[in-house]
Structure 1
Amino acid sequence: MPRMRDLFAPLRQFFHHPWLLAVLAALASAVLLLAASVGLTLQQMKQSESAQMNARGERFLDRLEQVFGQLREGVDQLQAQPLRGCGPDMQAQLQQVALESRFIYEAAYVDAQAACSNRGGERVIEPLRGPDIQGPTYSYWLNTTTEPNDNLAALMLGRGNFLVSTSRGHLTDVVDLPPGGSLLVVLDHGTRAIPVLGPAQDWPPTADWPAPSHKALLELPDRLVYRMATKSPDYQLVLIAPRASLPWRLNGLLWLLYPGSLLLACVVGWLVLQLIQQRRSMTSELQQALRRGELQVLYQPIFELDSRRCVGAEALVRWRRPDGSLTSPDLFIPLAENTGQIRQITDFVLQRVLEQLGQLLRANRHLYISVNLAACDVMEPRIGEVSARLLAQHRVTPGQIAFEVTERGLIDVVVARENLQTLRTAGHQVLIDDFGTGYCSLAYLQTLPVDCLKIDKAFIDALGHDAASSGVAPHIIRMAHDLHLRVIAEGIESEEQAQLLSSEGVKYGQGWLFAHPVSARQFAELITRGRRVAGRRIDDEP
């Protein structure tokens, strides 16, 4: 055990440098905050990028459906009229169709002898290759030119001798493609893709295209692919945008995140420093309190439920400062356990009990006082040696000093069993305090050298109510009886609770129904005069 303490000595020494701990806490929090901020920002940007891609895709799809619809209507109108050739009437008809249709930029008539367009002498659209889509009625040409001119044809539709086309401007005015993005028309059941807008893309985008996912938006590591279903079974529209711009956009946001993360990290470091200094300050104050005698011991009497005879008491330590204020045990006891000062407090309580009540205990051999042990007391044999020395000094039998341990204090059951057995062999009683709130299983309980179980107040309060834990206390009582253990009920505050516990076979109890924590003088008066003390709260004590 000393060798183990020597191994951890450098670590303990390290934790005694508050500034170093504060800096480490600040650095750790800065890393965590920045990582969390970057992760959140990445997630939000990806979601925003996906939402923008969805919006672009929907707008393109709506526009393309409108464009194809007007192209079909225009070419149907031209095919239905009787004029053929390139006379003035045909020129007028072509101009009328183009004027009536928002998305028809050019309408043309083409046969073996002549070609004419609504654009006059500017140009006549003529496909330079066979149609990309050949249907029973219409022929489709996609991306008829790659020149970056919004007035040049991007889509062309033909029927008979008539051709109609839309310009790039009729598509790009809906939404701008991101750099490197493309609008593709996918043909031949997904095996071929022709760009309508933007550069050609590697196709297919995935090895298992068409992707099995039914989602319209397919998120790949380097690009987003938005699939748009159309009314025609012959083609599908796909919008592709790269994700290369994401780190650059994120870089700008990181500059906004740095100051906030560093500021929060400094605040965390400052709070850690204040907490450490406060704990060190309280540690020092507690040490001074032990030297100045500011700690005092009070006694919570334990009664036999049937006869209401006092059979003992639990020793409670309180810290009353010079200004009269009380520091809660819930605050300084855990601190003392962490710093190792709890050993001094345990020794102080044991010594003060024997100094104050030694004569009373010698005169009343049936009486006992229980002292609470911390986890470090249970894991070391030291307390048995201290107890033996003090008992011999005050001529009190070991059976009149009991030791209470909590389930949470049984860190190593094997070591605890050995040390507790040593105490029992010496004649001390061993009690499990607050039973039911820890992790002591029945299997461990059967092997521990224990004389009594103390049921936690929370389970006593639930008795007689519909609370989910109302059946815990009776279960613990039956289990204790099966193991031939005594039971003490804590926190009894009403006569109904006392009667119910008595009917369940509980013989002993403590709580404000019988007495509040009292001083040594009041406890001696309670025993010697054989009457209950009304008792006052500790904060009412003079």
Structure 2
Amino acid sequence: MSSALASLRSLLYRPWLLATLAATASATLLLLASLGVAMHQLQESESAQMNAKGERFLERLEQIFGQLRQGVDLLQAQPLRGCDAEMVSTLQQVTYNNRFLFEAAYVDSSQSCSNRGGEQALNQLPPPDIQGPTYSYWLNTTTEPDDNRAALVLGRGNFRVSTSRGHLTDVVDLPPEGSLLVILDKGTRAVPVLGPVQEWPPASGWPPDNDDALQVFPSRLIYRMPTKSPDYQLVLITPRASLPLKMNGMLWLLFPGSLLLAWCIGWLVLQLVRQSRSMSSELQGAIRRGELQVLYQPIFELNSRRCVGAEALVRWRRPDGTLTAPDLFIPLAENTGQIRQITDFVLQRVLEQLGQVLRANPQLYISVNLAACDVMVPRIGLVAARLLALHHVAASQIAFEVTERGLIDVVVARDNLQALRAVGHQVLIDDFGTGYCSLAYLQTLPVDCLKIDKAFIDALGHDAASSGVAPHIIRMAHALQLRVIAEGIEYEDQALLLNSEGVNYGQGWLFAHPLNARQFIEMFTRGRRMGPRRIDDEA
């Protein structure tokens, strides 16, 4: 398993490969997002076009029906009946005065006449499609695509007037397979005024629950036109694929823009990986050249203010004297596997520098931080055993600190930590409260001490939301019979409050800054505290 992970890490830890993968993934995601935006824009454009068509049709239909009613009412109101020359003249005058009237006719049981002379199409009509109390309606009186044939006919008494297809289609060109329908019989039957017959009802859920004029379906768009008559409805129906759609010019820029952004992401990943590899190489050289150094953060008993131990801290001071923060190189070392070398270096340097004072003071201990990779395998126990035997130091004087985040597999970690405790090492949980170690797991872990994170110490007496966390951790530790170390103590009132809460030990700048080995030995042997200056800047 470890070899497979190593192979995978080696495969992925190639700048050009990672950059290519990042650019490809970014391009795919960005293009998909651009396509989604484009499709959404096209759908919005499609709906806007359909709304515009519907509004123009409705405006024209209102004009046409208004003139049809006006014309037939005028004819019905005048006293002439029959088909003499005066009637024909009257019919011609009505159509002349009304733009949308194509034909006007008089029809009775024995005769008929029209303004169009011998071209009388309105005397051979079938029964009306709609028979109202005042008007009769004939819909789609011809299926021939001829603008000069009547399409809508309105009748009253002996008079009939009609409009032509051209009057309906001169404002909007219906796309192929589009239709203007009149819905009859309470929505159950549709008669096409323009265009082919359509399947009706158009969907199983018709009529829709909402009152929106435009209804969008997967294969068609339906625009419902409001009418004043309860006897019929007007509907414009258009297949979606037939609408001429155009993408906004800005949308065309999304595609090359996405590719350019993906290229930039790939380039950025390449630079970051190269920088990471460069730092990794520098770190490897620093380990080899001895640029890493170990400092010691003393740990004090709060009651007596007596130093009982220290936490070993690793620092990287470059040849030019600058310090590289642990927050930068420790995560890098964990990702590259160099953390094992650093842990071994720290452990070896602790025993080389402090071996004599540890042998002379059996109660003094030094804690060393373990990364997740060393918590999950028993390797560090073997390394520690060899170095302890070489320097004749007891295992109880070397403690190991693990973070909650390092307990990836609690079961495996428990076994390895138990093996360390079995030979005498102490086990401390560092930065407790910032990870995901639950109380149920904590009860099963072989732990001697909890270290409360500095963030909770800083909140004491200041942050009402977080100030209760530290006392809660302290009570929990006491219930589990664990010692407690408070990290980051900077003020005397913090130390007094923590001591009153039952905290045994503390570390922080109130007592001492991180010290080099010589300074730590001097402080411990003379029993004096260091001043407020930052010692690690001098080391």
Q: Please name the residue that 1:175 is paired with.
A: 172
Tell me how far 1:529 sits from its aligned partner.
2.2
Tell me how far 1:206 sits from its aligned partner.
2.2
Tell me how far 1:26 sits from its aligned partner.
2.4
State the distance in 1 between where 2:522 and 2:244 align: 80
Q: Which moved more, 1:122-131 or 1:68-77?
A: 122-131
Q: Please name the residue that 1:61 is paired with.
A: 58
Q: Which moved more, 1:79-88 or 1:234-243?
A: 79-88
* Equivalent runs, 1:89-168 vs 2, <5 Å: 89-91=86-88, 93-118=90-115, 125-126=122-123, 128-168=125-165
1:37 and 2:39 equivalent?
A: no
Per-residue CA deviation, residues 346-374 of structure 1 (Å, 9 max, x unaligned), is: 01111111222222222333322111000
* Equivalent runs, 1:194-209 vs 2, <5 Å: 194-209=191-206
Please tell me whether the aligned partners of residues 192 and 203 of structure 1 are also in contact (alpha carbons under 8 angstroms): yes
1:83 alignment partner AA: L
Q: Please name the residue that 2:453 is paired with.
A: 456
Please tell me whether the aligned partners of residues 326 and 539 of structure 1 are also in contact (alpha carbons under 8 angstroms): no
Structure 1 residues 301 and 79: CA distance shift in structure 2, 3 A: same
Q: Please name the residue that 1:268 is paired with.
A: 265
**Structure 2 unaligned runs (5+)?**
none
Please tell me whether the aligned partners of residues 95 and 101 of structure 2 are also in contact (alpha carbons under 8 angstroms): yes
State the distance in 2 between where 1:245 and 1:90 align: 46
Q: Which moved more, 1:449-458 or 1:222-231?
A: 222-231
State the distance in 2 between where 1:349 and 1:175 align: 83
1:426 and 2:423 equivalent?
A: yes
1:28 and 2:34 equivalent?
A: no
Please tell me whether the aligned partners of residues 95 and 104 of structure 2 are also in contact (alpha carbons under 8 angstroms): yes
State the distance in 1 between where 2:483 and 2:219 align: 71
Q: Please name the residue that 2:501 is paired with.
A: 504
Per-residue CA deviation, residues 422-448 of structure 1 (Å, 9 max, x unaligned), is: 111111111000111111111110111
State the distance in 1 between where 2:491 and 2:124 align: 100
Please tell me whether the aligned partners of residues 91 and 117 of structure 1 are also in contact (alpha carbons under 8 angstroms): yes
State the distance in 2 between where 1:193 and 1:265 align: 52
Alignment partner for residue 411 of structure 1, among 408, 413, 431? 408
Q: Which moved more, 1:422-431 or 1:69-78?
A: 69-78
SS of residue in 1 equivalent to 2:462: coil
Q: How many positions carry a matched residue from both structures?
A: 539
1:436 and 2:418 equivalent?
A: no
Identity over the aligned pairs, expressed in percent? 77
State the distance in 2 between where 1:52 and 1:241 align: 11
1:385 and 2:382 equivalent?
A: yes
SS of residue in 2 equivalent to 1:201: coil
Structure 1 residues 291 and 272: CA distance shift in structure 2, 3 A: same
Please tell me whether the aligned partners of residues 517 and 536 of structure 1 are also in contact (alpha carbons under 8 angstroms): no
**Structure 1 unaligned runs (5+)?**
none
State the distance in 1 between where 2:242 and 2:260 align: 29
Q: Please name the residue that 1:362 is paired with.
A: 359
Tell me how far 1:287 sits from its aligned partner.
0.4
Please tell me whether the aligned partners of residues 294 and 350 of structure 2 are also in contact (alpha carbons under 8 angstroms): yes
State the distance in 2 between where 1:275 and 1:262 align: 20
Structure 1 residues 167 and 281: CA distance shift in structure 2, 3 A: same
Please tell me whether the aligned partners of residues 517 and 535 of structure 1 are also in contact (alpha carbons under 8 angstroms): no
Q: Please name the residue that 1:280 is paired with.
A: 277
Please tell me whether the aligned partners of residues 178 and 241 of structure 1 are also in contact (alpha carbons under 8 angstroms): yes
Q: Which moved more, 1:297-306 or 1:331-340?
A: 297-306
Q: Which moved more, 1:530-539 or 1:279-288?
A: 530-539
Q: Please name the residue that 1:51 is paired with.
A: 48
1:243 and 2:240 equivalent?
A: yes
State the distance in 1 between where 2:86 and 2:242 align: 53
Q: Please name the residue that 2:304 is paired with.
A: 307
Per-residue CA deviation, residues 380-437 of structure 1 (Å, 9 max, x unaligned), is: 1111111122222222222221110001111111111111111111111110001111
Alignment partner for residue 475 of structure 1, among 464, 472, 479? 472
State the distance in 2 between where 1:430 and 1:442 align: 17
Please tell me whether the aligned partners of residues 23 and 262 of structure 2 are also in contact (alpha carbons under 8 angstroms): yes
Q: Which moved more, 1:454-463 or 1:39-48?
A: 39-48
Please tell me whether the aligned partners of residues 185 and 194 of structure 1 are also in contact (alpha carbons under 8 angstroms): yes
State the distance in 2 between where 1:214 and 1:128 align: 36
Please tell me whether the aligned partners of residues 127 and 144 of structure 1 are also in contact (alpha carbons under 8 angstroms): no
Please tell me whether the aligned partners of residues 190 and 209 of structure 1 are also in contact (alpha carbons under 8 angstroms): no
Tell me how far 1:43 sits from its aligned partner.
2.2
Please tell me whether the aligned partners of residues 432 and 450 of structure 2 are also in contact (alpha carbons under 8 angstroms): yes
1:487 and 2:484 equivalent?
A: yes
Per-residue CA deviation, residues 468-523 of structure 1 (Å, 9 max, x unaligned), is: 22221111111001001111111222223222222211121122222222222222
Please tell me whether the aligned partners of residues 454 and 488 of structure 1 are also in contact (alpha carbons under 8 angstroms): yes
**TM-score if structure 2 supplies the norm length?**
0.92
Tell me how far 1:120 sits from its aligned partner.
5.9
Tell me how far 1:77 sits from its aligned partner.
2.6
Please tell me whether the aligned partners of residues 515 and 536 of structure 2 are also in contact (alpha carbons under 8 angstroms): no
What RMSD in Å do the two structures reach over aligned CA positions? 2.7
Tell me how far 1:136 sits from its aligned partner.
1.8
Structure 1 residues 87 and 494: CA distance shift in structure 2, 3 A: farther
Please tell me whether the aligned partners of residues 453 and 485 of structure 1 are also in contact (alpha carbons under 8 angstroms): yes
State the distance in 1 between where 2:464 and 2:317 align: 37
SS of residue in 2 equivalent to 1:71: helix
SS of residue in 1 equivalent to 2:53: helix
Q: Which moved more, 1:403-412 or 1:230-239?
A: 230-239
Q: Please name the residue that 1:513 is paired with.
A: 510
Please tell me whether the aligned partners of residues 320 and 327 of structure 1 are also in contact (alpha carbons under 8 angstroms): yes
**TM-score if structure 1 supplies the norm length?**
0.91
Tell me how far 1:80 sits from its aligned partner.
2.0
2:15 alignment partner AA: P
Per-residue CA deviation, residues 329-348 of structure 1 (Å, 9 max, x unaligned), is: 11111111111110000011
Tell me how far 1:162 sits from its aligned partner.
1.3
